[in-house]
Structure 1
Amino acid sequence: MILPPTLTQYRTLIVEGHEGLGRAHLMAELAHLGFEVRHMPPFLHHLDPALPYRELLAGPGRLAVDGRLVAELVYGPLRRGRSRVTWIQALDLAETVAERDGAMLHLTTTSGHARGAEVVEAATAYARAFRTLAQHVPVVTLDVGEPGRPIRAPASRPSQLWPNPGQLTVG
Structure 2
Amino acid sequence: MARLDWAGGYDTIVFEGCDGAGKTTLAGATAQHTNADLIHSALTPPSTDLVTTYNCLLDRTGRLVFDRCFLSELVYGPLYRGHTRLTYQHMDTLVRRVVARNGVFVHVTAPAAEIRRRLAARGEHQLPDLEEIALICDRYDELFRAVRTMAEVLLITTDHPDVDA
- The TM-score by the shorter chain falls in which range? 0.7 to 0.9
1:1-171 aligned within 5 A? 1-20=1-20, 22-33=22-33, 34-43=35-44, 46=47, 48-110=49-111, 112-113=113-114, 116-146=130-160, 148-150=162-164
Tell me, yes or no, if the aligned pair for 1:109 and 1:143 is still in contact at 8 Å: yes
Note the C-alpha offset of 1:7: 2.2
Residues 141 and 44 from structure 1, CA distance in 2 versus in 1: closer, same or farther, beyond 3 angstroms?
farther
Query: C-alpha separation between the residues in 1 aligned to 2:25 and 2:154?
Result: 17
Query: C-alpha separation between the residues in 1 aligned to 2:112 and 2:163?
Result: 11
User: Alignment RMSD, CA only?
Assistant: 2.2
Tell me, yes or no, if the aligned pair for 2:112 and 2:130 is still in contact at 8 Å: no
SS at match of 2:65: strand
Count, aligned residues: 151
Q: Which runs of 4+ in 1 moved over 6 A?
A: none
Residues 73 and 21 from structure 1, CA distance in 2 versus in 1: closer, same or farther, beyond 3 angstroms?
closer
Paired amino acid for 2:8: T
Note the C-alpha offset of 1:111: 6.1
Between 100-109 and 68-77, the greater mean CA deviation after superposition: 68-77
Query: C-alpha separation between the residues in 2 aligned to 1:125 and 1:20?
Result: 15
Give the structure with the higher percent helix: 2
Note the C-alpha offset of 1:150: 4.6
Q: Identity, % of aligned pairs?
A: 27
Q: TM-score, normalised by structure 1?
A: 0.77
